[in-house]
Amino acid sequence: MSIDHKDLYKIVEYIMGTCQSMSEVLVKFGYEDMDLDLEAAMYIDDRIFCCEQCEWWFEIAEMDEDEEWVCEDCIKYG
């Protein structure tokens, strides 16, 4: 069983701006016993990322240009 494309969109919208783990969100959407397949992971990675420093989810455009997987705010204020 793979994650429905409509649910992937909802998951991205739901998790953005939070510090929840992906596993917590998958449980909320009824996918508690699933790992993300490659297609789902790529869909998510093309849209959002979890900052390695503050652990909040951001739109991919908010990733620092020089430091991958770190948000601009952590670079600016960290």
59 forms beta bridges with 48
Amino acid, res. 9: Y
pLDDT (tens, 9 = 90+) of the chain, 78 residues, equals 588 889 999 999 999 999 999 999 999 999 988 888 899 999 999 999 999 999 999 999 999 988 889 999 999 998
Locate the domains of the chain by residue range.
5-77
pTM higher than 0.85 for the full model?
yes
3-state secondary structure string, 38-59? HHHHHHHHCCEEECCCCCCEEE
